Amino acid sequence: MFAGETDALLNRFANEPAGPSLGPYLALLNDRLELPDPELAGVVDPRTNPRDLRIELPGRTLEARIYQPVHSTGPAPIVLWLHGGGFIGGHLRDIEYATSGIAAAGNVVVVSLNYRLAPENPYPAGLNDVLDTLSWIREHASELNGDGRIAVGGQSAGAGLAAGACLVARDNGSPLPDHQILCYPSLDHEQDTESYRLFDGTFLSIAPGRWSSAQYFPTGELPAAAVPLRAASLAGLPPALILAAGRDPLRDDARHYAERLDGPVRLVEYAETMHAFLNFPAVLSAGRHAVELIGTHLREVFYPPA
Q: What is the pLDDT of residues 170-196, one digit of tens each?
A: 999 999 999 999 999 999 999 999 999
Contact 179, 301 (CB under 8 A): yes
Residues of the chain with pLDDT under 50: none
Is the residue at 18 inside a domain? no
Q: Which residues are catalytic?
A: 156, 248, 275
> Rounded to two decimals, what is the model's pTM?
0.98
CA distance 216 to 119: 6
Is the residue at 150 inside a domain? yes
Domain limits for position 115? 2-12+39-302
Is the residue at 21 inside a domain? no
- Domains of the chain: total: 1
Please tell me the predicted confidence (pLDDT) of residue 72: 83
pLDDT digit string (tens) for 41-88? 999 999 999 999 999 999 999 999 999 999 887 999 999 999 999 999
Is the residue at 28 inside a domain? no
Is the residue at 19 inside a domain? no
Please tell me the predicted confidence (pLDDT) of residue 1: 81
Please tell me the predicted confidence (pLDDT) of residue 306: 79
CATH code of the domain containing 81? 3.40.50.1820
Please tell me the predicted confidence (pLDDT) of residue 15: 95
Which neighbouring-strand residues pair with 242? 182, 267
Is the residue at 53 inside a domain? yes
Is the residue at 22 inside a domain? no
Is the residue at 31 inside a domain? no
